[in-house]
Structures are given as C-alpha cells and as structure tokens.
Amino acid sequence: MPELAEVAFYAQKWSPGLGQKVSKVWIDAQSRVFRGADLGAFADLSACEFRSIQTHGKRMLFGFSKGVWLSGHLGMTGKLSTEDPELRPFAKHDRLIITLESVELIFNDARHFGRMEVVEEASDLPTFWSKLPHDVRSDLFDLVYFKAHLSRRPRANVKALLLEQSVCPGIGNWMADEILWRARIDPRRTVGSLNRSEPSKFYQALCEVVEDAMRVIAPDWGDAPDSWLFNQRWKNGGVCPRTQKALTRETIAGRTTCWSPAWQK
DNA sequence: CTATTTGTTTATCC
DNA sequence: AGGATAAACAAATA
C-alpha cells in the first residue's frame, strides 16, 4: 500500500522511541522480510540508542548508536507502530519487535513483501543510502534533472517511467495516476510523444502531487480532498473531478490505471 | 471459488 | 538493449 507520504507517516510512528536504549530484539526468523539479510546482525541492535528516522522514496532508515542502522521497506502491507511493552500482546504478522525503555517498535507485515535489514557502518549515513537517486522531494530533483530522464527514455510509457524507483523514488500507483491526471496526459502515451510544453506540465504536476501528499497524508494520514482523483479512482461509477464525466480503468505498465478520457489527452 | 490489491524482482520474449 | 508482460512472493477482502 504505502507510497512516499504513507511511508513517511509510518516511519514517524517510531519517533516515540527516539533517545531510548534497545533492551531486546525479536525477529520472525522465517519471514521473507529478512531475505538476503544477516539475521545475526539484529542482535547487534541490543544496547544501542535509537537516534534517527529518515525516509527516501519508499525506503526507511533508522539510525542507532555504535554505527548500527536498520534499513526497511514496507512493501504492500507493511506497517510500523509503537506499543506499550506491558500491554500489547504479540500480534499476527508481527515480523520485528525492538523493545526500548518505555515502548516497543513493531514492524508488522501480512504479505512479507516488505524488507528489514541491519547495516553496520560507522559514518553519518550508510554508503548505499548516500548513493540513492534523487528523492522526488529533493531540490536536486529539478526540471532539468527530470527532463534529462525523459530524453533518455523516449520509448518508455509515461506511467511506467513514473513507477520506476530509480527515476521517481517514492511514486507509486495512486500518485502516478494522480500526476498524469493533473498534467492532463493520457497514461497510454510514451515519453517521446510529449510535445514541447508537456514535460514542464508533467514535472509541475509531479511536484504538486508530492507536496499535497506530504502535506495531507504524511503528518496524520488525513483524508484526500475531493478535488483529487484519489477519491474517485476505485469507486464504481467514479467520475473525473474536473469534467464530472466517467473514468476509465485499464492495466497499464502492469498496474490498474484510472484516468479521465475526456480530460487527459 | 473468483478476482482484486497504494510493491518489487526475476524470467522471458520481441 | 530497452521495453512489455507475466509470474512469483502471500494474505486479506469482497
């Protein structure tokens, strides 16, 4: 489920634990969320102080003392929460529980599509994290940078490009549809078919959706306003908020895509 | 029992 | 080579 702003929302769920020391770490060792990870390294979180939270696209990074980092991804169904260790029983689909002084950090993931991994590197940031492509919220993700991606990939479908995490880290299915709708671009088009003025509109729409999502969803998962496509996209009989005409749904770039044929050309 | 899902990775084909 | 497509992962929901 989670895209850029939902990931930011969940990552902050662990903030009540900041400044506290780890007393216990439990993992569901069978879970696929630890695929490729060194399970033994989770024990190294013990006695570390939980110090920082950050996100990049859909990735999350939690910093601990002694150069220990926890890197994570929520996949489709991952969720983070903090709970009172005295009150909260073990729940179905809990995959990782880090017990601190007064709270537990919980990672719960029904479908195991998420990921958690311990990275040990005594530096300001792990090397892999510093090398990620520019986040869509970064000042470096500017029009020139975006256009450079577009000109490199003329034959790519516009929606497929938005969904590529190496190009637009954090954009997922609903944001991609929202962006194309606001830019008035038909999701079936290729990047190379964009006319002279469309790349800027495309970029503007992307920035607006990113800003709106971060403002409305990231702090407390607020409801999307009816001026967005969001509230109409899965509704039977949903209509375009701009034209009041019927929306269309079709699989594009492997994902169910919703758009307004009367509005997007 | 069927089809669906706000994600990612891998294989395969053209 | 780049791009499209399907499958795999796995569980809930309708």
pLDDT of A252 reads 96
Cβ of A242 near strand C (distance < 7 A): no
Predicted local confidence at residue A237, as pLDDT: 86
Instruction: Look up the protein residue whose alpha carbon has the minimum distance to the C1' of C9.
Output: A113
Question: Rounded CA gap, A116 and A97, in Å?
Answer: 11
The spacing between the Cα labelled CA in A254 and the C1' in B10, in angstroms, equals 15
Find, among A129, A81, A138, the residue nearest to A106 by Cα: A81
| Dist CA A265 CA A258 (whole Å) | 14
How deeply is A1 buried, as exposed, middle or buried, from its count of CB atoms within 10 A (0-12, 13-18, 19+)?
A: middle
Q: Give the distance, in angstroms, between residue A121 CA and nucleotide B6 C1'.
A: 32
Nucleotides of B under 7 A from a protein CB: 4-9
Closest nt by CA–C1' to A58: B7
Residue A236's pLDDT band (cuts 50, 70, 90):
confident
Q: What is the pLDDT of residue A88?
A: 87
Give the whole-angstrom CA distance, residue A233 versus residue A259: 8
- Arithmetic mean of pLDDT, A148-154: 97
* The pair of three-digit structure tokens given for residue A105, joined into one six-digit string: 């950090």
b (16+ CB within 10 A) / e for A219-232:
eeeeebeeebbbeb
Per-residue pLDDT tens digits for A247-265: 999 999 999 999 999 999 9
User: Which nucleotides on strand C sit less than 7 A from a protein beta carbon?
Assistant: 2-7, 9-12
Write out pLDDT tens, residues A178-208: 999 999 999 999 999 999 999 999 999 999 9
The A 94-133 residues near strand C by Cβ under 7 Å are: 110-113
Nearest one of A151, A159, A255, A169 to A210, comparing CA atoms:
A169
pTM for the full model? Answer: 0.96
CA–CA distance from A223 to each of A66, A218, A220, A265 (Å)? 40, 11, 9, 28
Residue-wise pLDDT for A70-118, tens only, equals: 999 999 999 999 999 998 889 999 999 999 999 999 999 999 999 999 9
Give the separation between CA A222 and CA A88, rounded to whole angstroms: 26
Indicate the pLDDT class of residue A20, thresholds 50, 70 and 90. very high
Mean per-residue pLDDT over chain A, rounded: 96
Compute φ and ψ for A203, nearest 5 degrees: -65, -45
Question: Is the model's pLDDT at A1 over the cut of 80?
Answer: no
